Amino acid sequence: MRSFEEIESLAVEKKGGKAQLASLLGEHNLPKSETELEKIGDDRWLAMFTKCVFQAGFSWKVIDQKWPGFEEAFEGFDIARLSFLPDEAFEALLKDTRIVRNGAKIKTVQHNAVFLKDLAVEHGSAAKFFARYPVTDQIGLMEILKKRGSRLGGNTGQLALRFMGKESFILSGDVVNALIRENVIENERPSKKNLIAIQAAFNDWKESSGRSLNEISRILAFSVG
């Protein structure tokens, strides 16, 4: 495994210089602070989980265009209300043209509302749980999202964390290819062994480079394509 300085040099070369790489990274890619994350309402976490679930395997543009309708149909993603979604409310949502009428994905809203409500009971708020969860164990957080959430495994959960401002890496195709190139992992399988090796590599690069997981993840991707 090369030093992160060497990997960043590859990205600089691929993107045509340090200035171009810095522009691609941009300040918008920096994570929020723990304090900022804690101030986000739990309803916004449910909204983002829902948005990422519906965008998976679908046109992101369509979901973005219809999103105001989602906010209306799900009444602002109030967790307490959506935790108890009666059959008649579910049936109404199946006919609601303001949203994408996918029954299985609509059901995830209730399941994830319960998940977030449970986190709030356990930690004071779901936001506090996510804000305080150590970034040095993202694979642990990904496992929680997969096991306790609904359809939040894989890239869906990773994207939700990133979009909410939690410091995180995303295992996109280019990032995985970079990790294979650096001999961090031998293949693309999301095995426990591979995930542990990935976390260890990111932690090492974070410590040595002083960069956030967000930046490291993107630079790895830029070093490939």
Class of the CATH domain delimited by 42-124:
mainly alpha
The tokens describing 143, both together, are 């496992």
Q: Is 151 left (phi over 0), alpha (psi -120 to 50) or beta?
A: left
Could you list the pLDDT tens digit for every one of the 225 residues in the chain? 889 999 999 999 999 999 999 998 886 678 999 999 999 999 999 999 999 999 999 999 999 999 999 999 999 999 999 999 899 999 999 999 999 999 999 999 999 999 999 999 999 999 999 999 999 999 999 999 999 999 999 999 999 999 999 999 999 999 999 999 999 999 999 999 999 999 999 999 999 999 999 999 999 999 998
Q: Is 3 left (phi over 0), alpha (psi -120 to 50) or beta?
A: beta
Collect all residues with Cβ–Cβ distance below 8 Å to 198 and sequence separation of at least 6: 139, 169, 171, 179, 184, 185
In whole angstroms, what is the distance from residue 198 CA to residue 192 CA?
10
Q: Is 2 left (phi over 0), alpha (psi -120 to 50) or beta?
A: beta
Q: So where are the chain's domains?
A: 1-24+140-225, 42-124
Question: Among 52, 48, 51, which residue's Cα sits nearest to residue 40?
Answer: 48
In whole angstroms, what is the distance from residue 161 CA to residue 27 CA?
17
pTM, rounded to two decimals: 0.94
Question: What's the pLDDT score for residue 1?
Answer: 82
Question: What's the pLDDT score for residue 208?
Answer: 96
**198 in Cβ contact with 154 (< 8 Å):** no
Collapsing DSSP to helix, strand or coil, 58 comes out as coil
In whole angstroms, what is the distance from residue 31 CA to residue 25 CA?
12
